[in-house]
Each structure stands twice: as structure tokens, then as C-alpha cells.
Structure 1
Amino acid sequence: MSHAPHSSLPVGHYAYDEVDRTFLKQRVAQFRDQVERRISGALTEEEFKPLRLMNGLYLQLHAYMLRVAIPYGVLNSGQMRTLAQIAQRYDRDYGHFTTRQNIQFNWIKLEDTPDILALLADADMHALQTSGNCIRNVTADQFAGAAADEVLDPRIHAEILRQWSTLHPEFTFLPRKFKIAISGSPQDRVAARFHDIGLMARKDENGRAVFEVYVGGGLGRTPIVGVKLRDDLPEEDLIAYLEAILRVYNEFGRRDNIYKARIKILVQALGVQEFRNRVNAEFVAMDRARYKLDEKIVAAIQARFGVPDFDPAGQAAEKLIQQRKADRAFDFWVRTNTHAHKQPGYVSVTISCKPAGGIPGDVTSAQMNLLADLADQLSFGELRITHLQNVVLGHVRQDKLYALWQTLDQNGLGTANVGFISDIVACPGLDYCALANARSIPIAQKLSERFASPELQREIGPLRLNISGCINACGHHHAGHIGILGVDKRGEEAFQITLGGAADQDTVSIGQIIGAAMSEDETVDAIARIIDTYLARRTAGEQFIDTCRRLGTAPFKDAAYAPA
């Protein structure tokens, strides 16, 4: 594989300056002192907890877990190699990509944490805002800057939001954690309506890019679909309007009850119109000129991402057509794992981190290094992590796809299942998490093996299957067409099934529980019977979510609980 030409700036990745780097080094030195005081006993765990959480360090069942930020899911090849180095040197040789486009290391020693953060800082990375009651890592469309249907590049605005929110004096200690997602197209690729704030770009009647703003969405023990606060927010008012929303939440959000502290509860308590009125009042009273996103500011941020120096497409498309005709398995992979690019002759490639029997989102250090090499060779040195726990090469020329697929397939990364039933989203569950009721990983592995056949997956068609180990819903089970929730049933691990959730369609919905919890093996068999019912009762061309909505849950419940 030949190396693609590179621009002078790292393509796709925001280029840090000395201000950024100095800040990160100061933060590492500060935390190193805090860790030393904890180890010496000068700080108790209770005193240390808020300090470690501000640096992305959790205490889990067996060890510390470090959650590293990958802002809006974008990183360069050098950063991926740094993550591989951390996995190999400080963890058990792997990392876990999360539904917030971050990466978690699950076997970290406390005394190693400052050295890890120093390594990250040297690579322009950190673990800030991956925990605590602050604005968390802003997530974005994984095809940002490349998608053919893009209205604007959401990386630019996600970076602006990152700079605005980092150490913001008003929003460092919110009533509860706060999550923002932004899609650069009217096609929701970020689950915008399941976020505290969701932003979706569209063009108004004058052809100008504006944002639809959704607020008050979320999952967890109280799943709620966000409501549209406005549909015409000009780009220049983005920071001002979001600051107005955060000020209202910070003032009126509950702090007396952790289960009622999210903004979704406030929106429901006040009512949408009253919440909108308070935001508008705050917005009007602000010094808007101070917050205005000047075109020069936006252009300067955009310039720091670099622009790919695309090769002429030549006969790339024609060569790809011939290769697809000659190899049926390759053709299927292209259909499932590529996305239309705005540049002729190029596509974006989604690399599945969900092999049959594998752990969703887990990637070894060797695979990370391979992904970094492939990014250098084929995608201008940049990668993206998706909120569905996969990896994207954003800019691959079409005549390079066949060699890419072969390399991926030889290294356990060539699974052609993106968007299908084995493309499972799952949290780490009770294998690691102190909050979980049940293990998510074993049931995910059994289901991916049960439905591993490419022919069966093609027959089933698009289907989203999500698994959470507890009601906190880190696996987004409410948003799955089929969701699985781990519960404690009289001291034993058990699983509830939900049906009918959807996060990425015009009609967003929350999955509904269909019945009593079952054992792991019973749940796997029940899912198989649900799929059989769908295949038997769908109409021509009808996807699972549409059949489920047409028939309701009753026939699927009957199948799930049918006697063996």
C-alpha cells in the first residue's frame, strides 16, 4: 500500500498550540502531587475522589479505570500508537472504545496514572471532562468533514464547544453530568435526541447553515426523548444560546436528589414552553456580541484541522467495481462498511470492532498499531472512533479498498457487519463496573456467535442490538431496536428484553420492556425466536424496527416466552 500525501497540518485532528500543551503539562504535575499525597496517606479516598474524577480516573471492581478523552472521536495515527503503548505497558494489552467516543483502560495502577497522563499530554491528549458533573466529551458525526450529505463540518463546532467548556467557571460543578452531541447533517448519526443537548445542522430557506437544537434527552433509569427547543439557531449564536441553556440548568436543576438532577427532569418539571422562555430570557439579556462566533474565528479553527491533499480519482471507481464483481465477500463488506464521501473516488470506511465471539469495542495494542499504520497509508494519518464502538478511516481511495479489506480480515478487523445484529453495542458490565448488576460481555459474545453467519445477517437486514449491565444504560439499551438490560433477580444475574427503540431515525423512540427477566442462555434463545418471528411476519423490504412498530410487541413477546 502506498502512502497517501499529507497536508502540512495533521489532517482531521485539531493541532494544539503551546498554550494547550503548557496547560496539560501543568495539569499532569498537579495530579502527580495529588496521587503522591493519596499514596502517602495525606489524602483520604474521600478527599481524593473528586480530584481523580476530574482527571478521568475511576475506582472499579478490580482496579482503577482511566477514561481517556478522544474529543469528537478524532485522533491521529501518533495518538493511536500512544494508546497502544499505554495498553501494552500499563494495562492488559487492550483498550475499550466507549459510546462517548472515548477509550477506557480497565487495569490501571494508581501509581502509574501520572506517567500515563504525561504520555497522553506529549501526544496532545488528556482525560479531562471524562467524568464529574461537568460538560463531558462532546461527541460528533463519525463522518465529519467527509460525508456527502454534510451541511457543515461538526468537528469545527465540537472543538469550539470543547474550548468553551473546558474549565468553564460556571459549568465545572453542574447539578449532574452533561452531554452534548452534534451532527453535521440532517441525518442523525449521533443520537442527538438522547442527549442533554443535541445539535443537528440543516440549511434554512436561504441556504444558510443553521442548527436544530434538542434539549432534555437521555437514557438511564428515566429514558426521555429530547424536545426541539428551536430549529433555526444561526451558527454565530451557538455559544451564546448553549450558555443560556446551561445557565438555566445550573440555576434551577435539582441538587438534592442525584436521580432527579439531569436537565431532562428540569425540562419535564417546568414544561417545554416555560423552559424555552427562561432560556430565551437569558439569551436576550446576554452580551451577545461577546459570544458571537465571528467568521474569522470559525475559519481559524477550521484551518487548524488541515485539508486532505486528495489524489486524482483516476480509474479508482471502475477498479472497485471490477473487484466487487470478482469477490462476493468483499462486495458485501463494501456495501456494509463504507459510506459515501464528498470527494469523487473516495469513501469513508467503518472498521468493525465486533468480530464473532469478540468483546464489543475492545481492541488490542497490536490492532491499534495496525490501525495507525493503515491510517498513515490510506487516510492521511487520521482516524475516528464512533459512538457505536467502531473505528473509521475517513478518506480512503476506492481502488485501495480491496487491499485494506484483506489486511483487516487477516487481523480480526474485517467483519462485514456494520449496522447488523452482530454489530452489538455493550458496556463493560459486571466484569469491571462496580455499578453493574450483570455481565454484558458474555451475552454479547454468545449473541454475536449465534448470528455470525453473513447470509443470516443479510437476511435479517439492518438491526441495532444494545446491551447494558445496569439501569444506568451505558450500553444505550433503550435506544436499540432490541435492547438487553442486566438486572439482579434474587441474587442472580438476569436480563430483560426491550423492543422498539431507535436513535437514528426521523421517529426516535424508547424501547419497551416486554416481560420478566430471564437467564443469559434463555435470553439468547428468546432473541433468536424474536428474530424468527420477524422473518416470518415482515412485509417485503420491511426492516425490523418497522415490523415491530407495525405489529406492536405482543407477537414478539409471545415468541420470546414460548415454552421450550
Structure 2
Amino acid sequence: MYRYDHYDQSIVDARVDEFRDQVTRRLSGQLTEDQFKPIRLMNGLYLQLHAYMLRVAIPYGTLDSRQMRMLGSIARDHDRGYGHFTTRQNLQFNWIKLEETPDILAKLATVEMHAIQTSGNCIRNISSDQFAGAAADEVADPRPWAELIRQWSTFHPEFSYLPRKFKIAVIAADEDRAAMRLHDIGIQLVERDGLLGARIYVGGGMGRTPMIAPLIRDFVAADDLMSYLEAALRVYNRYGRRDNIYKARIKILVHEIGADAYRAQVEEEFAAVKQLGLDPPAAELARITAMFAAPPFDPAAPAEIDRTDPDFALWLDQNVRAHKAPGYSIVTISLKPVGGIPGDATADQIDLVADLAERHSFDELRVTHAQNLVLPHVRTSDLHAIWQQLADAGLAEPNLDLATDIIACPGLDYCSLANARSIPLAQKLSERLAPVQHNLGELKMKISGCINACGHHHAGHIGILGVDKKGTENYQLSFGGSGAEDVSLAKITGPGFDEDGVVDAVERATDTYRTLREPGERFLDTYRRVGMQPFKEAIYG
């Protein structure tokens, strides 16, 4: 994985010192909250309903055991003993004291971490496939390119004050495990005639106006990728709306002028940008790529595994995936225990996962956009021992991609923007559906507490949006979304429900699915085949 050079470290250290001074000035009254707000947001510090929240960047979801242990230490010493993993592969601390924030950032800096550009109208944390470097279906490891984009975008002088926040995802397989086309820019690395390059999608996103990013360029050579991204951002920065926050995202620009017109302007800009020499020298790309070299896998690692324990076998089938190296596996650690809070992990659990990564996964782990964790390089022969330790810590729920593997934002329990609570609803749904989830099969449920869609409800097979209905919490139910390679946006079923009502409605919908499904069909497949009407009849009578 990537290691800071002295430039990286000096940048992060300088930002900590600068922010320490700014916090001192705020606490002394030299800065008002209005003056301090843009400063703290540039450092990932939000003021939520009850306390400050600090969002820590985890670039492309990759970190090691020392970084993970630092997150656990901060959770223990500066929060309430836990952290919350998010849909941008980041981690949030929800109970932070302002006066302690500089010390927290200083601690993060000692393990090559920071909170820079986790907020504000800039290029946010670069996300990627959580199986990168381990999956057999990728044409290349996308993380060197994600790291290159991170370095290019950090403090980019032209793109530090964009019309609106900007999110980029990089994948390298046909299976989309990162919701790539629901980003402002989605990049899929591909090969053509033996040459590595990328497909570029621009103008996706969720929120108030969800859109799927159209294909803007079918192939750009890898050597030109950074120049092409520069051109794409320049066109947005030039023409993106700054007079209306609801129309400021690049998806609105692409939609209003059309993909063809946007493409033409990017191509014109690209021709000019290429002359500036912005693409990295081959030696620099080689330096970065070398840091993502495959671990020293044992070619003699045994692939056989004893499946006689039925509970272990169930976990294997649901949470373990094939690895590109024989004798190794990819383990997803569920942060969704039945009745638990999606994405939360205690300090002790964080420490345990750090220990497992260090001992069993070449000191590497990942955060997924579905709010789970991954050990990417595990000897198959170690799986049973890992499962036992996870089970003892409440981290062995065999529910990856099942009904209880719910994505949920913090909602009205924490967020000042939310209209409704997400966490209690996720807990009730989890408890209701747990007894039948393995019979239901793949069912991706996603909950957002407001229209900003941090819970990705537009991309849920079943999506739920919390709204304010005359001062009471109400929930809109949607079906048919997907963030995968079969990307689609969910459609609202009809009138909303109260909290208990939406739980009942989801149960009726899943019962209907079990009645209507054909062999091998997921909930999403059945919905697409039969349409909304049978489900509406079951839900509304």
C-alpha cells in the first residue's frame, strides 16, 4: 500500500499546525462560527445535532493495522468508544470536542492519515473497489491510479472551490463493486489491443436529483488519464452553477447541456491540456505502482477447507470470496449484526480487526462503500481461526448482500440535515428479516434520513427515504435500484409510512417476491420482470 513521502508528511503536518491555530482563535472568540465554519469543513469537522463530527479520510478504502489501531485509540480516548464507517469508505467520529480536534489530527498524522477534503466543495476522498489487488476479474489494480488521482486532487489550486462537492470512483473490473456510475466521475480501467486505458463516465450522483452517469469517453489511454480528468473538471468548474446549490453538481450540467455537448467541450479542453504536460512521468507512476505490488503469496498454500461445522460453512458461503491467488481468500467482515447499528465498530472490534489484518492479511484491510470491512489476502487454511475470533467479537454475521446487510446513514440521531431517523428503522428491519434472509437471497436495502441520500437509497433493491411530513417522521419506499454494473434508480412505490408501517410494508414486499420469483431470481430480477403493480397491491391492499 502507499506510504507517505516527505512531501505528503510535511503537507499533513503543516495542516495540523495551521488548524491548531485556527481552533485556538475560535475558542478565544477571535473567530466567529461563521468565520470558522469554512475552515473546519476543509478539515473534515462538522457541527452536528449534539456534537462535532470528524470525518477521517481513508483513500480508496485501504489502510493497515497501525492506522486501524490509531482509529481505535481515538475512538476510545476522544469519542464514546466507537467509530462509524461510511459509504465513502471513510470513518466518522460523532462525539468530538472542538478543543481536542488538533490533537486528534496530530495523532492521525503520525500514521499517515488526515481529514483533508472530506468536506467542502472540492474533490472528496477517492473511492475504489474493496477487492482491488485481490480479485481475479480486474485488468489491473486500480489503487495506483486512485492514489495518483488523490495526489493530483489534493489542494489542486483550480479545483479547491468547485461549484459543489465532487466524488470520483475507480474500478478495474466489469463487476462494479463501488457504485462507479453513481459518482460525479466514474473510471473503469480497461484494456484495448494490449493497451491499458479507461472508460470515463461523468454526471452520476444521488441526492435530490439522482442520475446515472453517461459514458463520455469509451477509451482514454492510461498515459493521458490525468489530462482527461483535468479537462473534465475544467469544463465543470467553468460552467457549473454557483447561483443555486440544488443545481450545482456536475450531473445537472451534463443533463442540461446534454452528454454530447459536454463531451465536445471536454475533448476541446483535453486537446489543450495535453500540451501542459500534466500526466506523471513514467518513473513517478512506477514508484507509486511499486507500493501496490502483490504480497508474497505462498504458491503451496493449501486450498482445502473443512466445512463440517454448518455455521462456519454458512459464513464461508456468504462472506468469503475467491482470491486471484490459489490457497487464499477474500474475507468480508460484517458490521451489520442483527439489531445492530450499520457501520459502527467499537474500539475493541477495531483493534481486533487490526490484529487479524496484521497476522493473516499481510497487514492490509479495506473499508467498503457498503459500510463493512475486508481482509483482502487471507490464507484459506486460516479462515476457521479468523471466523472463531470474529464470532467471539460479534463480527461474524453471515449476511453479506442479504437483507440485514443494510446501508444506513446516521440520520436524525446525529445529523442536523436529517428529517427522520435511519438507525432505529435499520435495526427493526434487521430483526424482522433476519429469520428469512437466507431464503430471500441477495437483497440490498439502503436507508437515507434525508434527500441528500448518504444512505444511497436510490441504489437499493429496496430503498427507504426519511422525510418530514407535517412535523412527523415519514418514510418513502422505493424498489428497483442498483449501484452495480446493472445500475438503475429505484422508483417510489406510493404514499409513505410511519416507522412501523414501513417495516410491515417491506415484509409484505419480500413475501410477494417469494411468491412470484422464478428459480435463480433475486428480488431485483423479479421486480424488473413483473413490475411495480404486484408489489403495490401487496403493500397498499
TM-score in same-fold range (> 0.5): yes
Give yes or no for contact 2:224–2:274 (8 Å, CA) kept in 1.
no
Aligned counterparts, 1:370-449, within 5 A: 370-449=352-431
Deviation digits for residues 135-165 of structure 1 (CA, Å, limit 9, x no counterpart)? 0000000011111111111110000000000
Distance 1:514 1:284 in 2: 46
Alignment match, 1:457? 437
Matched, 1:470 2:457: no
Distance 1:287 1:262 in 2: 25
Taking only the aligned residue pairs, the percentage that are identical comes to 60
Deviation digits for residues 199-221 of structure 1 (CA, Å, limit 9, x no counterpart)? 112222x1322211100000001
Distance 2:119 2:165 in 1: 8
Q: Letter of the aligned partner of 2:254 in structure 1? A: V
Matched, 1:528 2:507: yes
Deviation digits for residues 65-104 of structure 1 (CA, Å, limit 9, x no counterpart)? 0000000000000000000011000000000000000000
Distance 1:267 1:19 in 2: 36
- Shifted more, 218-227 versus 282-291: the winner is 282-291
Distance 1:111 1:449 in 2: 39
Alignment match, 1:8? none
Matched, 1:560 2:534: no
Give yes or no for contact 1:186–1:201 (8 Å, CA) kept in 2.
no
Q: Does the residue aligned with 1:286 lie in a helix, a strand or coil?
A: helix
Give yes or no for contact 1:313–1:346 (8 Å, CA) kept in 2.
no
Unaligned runs of 5+ in 1: 1-12
Give yes or no for contact 2:342–2:408 (8 Å, CA) kept in 1.
yes
Alignment match, 2:90? 102
Distance 2:280 2:6 in 1: 23
Deviation digits for residues 41-80 of structure 1 (CA, Å, limit 9, x no counterpart)? 0000000000000000000000000000000000000000
- Shifted more, 93-102 versus 13-22: the winner is 13-22
Shift of 1:296: 2.6
Spell out structure 1 runs of 4+ moving beyond 4 A: none
Alignment match, 2:256? 269
Match of 1:496 among 441, 453, 476: 476
Q: Letter of the aligned partner of 1:530 in structure 2? A: A
Higher RCO by CA contacts (8 Å cutoff, separation 6 or greater)? 1
Matched, 1:63 2:51: yes
Aligned counterparts, 1:71-470, within 5 A: 71-204=59-192, 206-288=193-275, 290-314=277-301, 316-318=302-304, 320=305, 323-324=306-307, 326-453=308-435, 456-470=436-450
Give yes or no for contact 1:235–1:293 (8 Å, CA) kept in 2.
no
Give yes or no for contact 2:182–2:483 (8 Å, CA) kept in 1.
yes
Shift of 1:250: 0.2
Q: Does the residue aligned with 1:150 lie in a helix, a strand or coil?
A: coil
Q: Letter of the aligned partner of 1:25 in structure 2? A: D
Unaligned runs of 5+ in 2: none
Shift of 1:330: 1.3
Distance 1:122 1:310 in 2: 29
Give yes or no for contact 1:499–1:514 (8 Å, CA) kept in 2.
yes
Shift of 1:289: 6.2
Shift of 1:232: 1.0
Shift of 1:399: 0.6
Q: Letter of the aligned partner of 1:98 in structure 2? A: T
Shift of 1:15: 0.8
- Shifted more, 550-559 versus 217-226: the winner is 550-559
Q: Letter of the aligned partner of 1:238 in structure 2? A: L
Match of 1:482 among 456, 462, 470: 462
Q: Does the residue aligned with 2:155 lie in a helix, a strand or coil?
A: coil
Distance 1:145 1:369 in 2: 24
Distance 2:267 2:515 in 1: 51
Distance 1:289 1:149 in 2: 35
Deviation digits for residues 95-114 of structure 1 (CA, Å, limit 9, x no counterpart)? 00000000000000000000
Distance 1:457 1:313 in 2: 37
Would the alpha carbon gap of residues 131 and 411 (structure 1) be closer, same or farther in structure 2, given more than 3 Å must change? same
Give yes or no for contact 1:193–1:225 (8 Å, CA) kept in 2.
yes
Give yes or no for contact 1:137–1:162 (8 Å, CA) kept in 2.
yes
Match of 2:529 among 540, 546, 550: 550
Q: Does the residue aligned with 1:317 lie in a helix, a strand or coil?
A: coil
Deviation digits for residues 170-228 of structure 1 (CA, Å, limit 9, x no counterpart)? 00000000000011212111111100000112222x13222111000000010011100
Distance 2:300 2:495 in 1: 55
Shift of 1:490: 1.3
Distance 1:306 1:125 in 2: 21
Aligned Cα RMSD in Å?
Answer: 1.0
Give yes or no for contact 2:403–2:443 (8 Å, CA) kept in 1.
yes
Distance 1:313 1:223 in 2: 48
Shift of 1:404: 0.6
Alignment match, 1:3? none
Give the TM-score normalised by the residue count of structure 2.
0.99
Give yes or no for contact 1:210–1:231 (8 Å, CA) kept in 2.
no
Give yes or no for contact 2:230–2:273 (8 Å, CA) kept in 1.
no
Q: Letter of the aligned partner of 2:481 in structure 1? A: G
Distance 1:356 1:541 in 2: 25
Give yes or no for contact 1:178–1:196 (8 Å, CA) kept in 2.
yes
Distance 1:238 1:168 in 2: 16
Q: Does the residue aligned with 1:275 lie in a helix, a strand or coil?
A: helix
Distance 1:560 1:202 in 2: 43
Distance 1:166 1:82 in 2: 23
Q: Does the residue aligned with 1:421 lie in a helix, a strand or coil?
A: coil
Give yes or no for contact 1:236–1:294 (8 Å, CA) kept in 2.
no
Give the TM-score normalised by the residue count of structure 1.
0.95
Matched, 1:519 2:498: yes
Q: Letter of the aligned partner of 2:488 in structure 1? A: S
Distance 2:118 2:188 in 1: 23
Distance 1:198 1:420 in 2: 26
- Shifted more, 329-338 versus 292-301: the winner is 292-301
Give yes or no for contact 1:489–1:517 (8 Å, CA) kept in 2.
no
- Shifted more, 286-295 versus 215-224: the winner is 286-295
Alignment match, 1:9? none
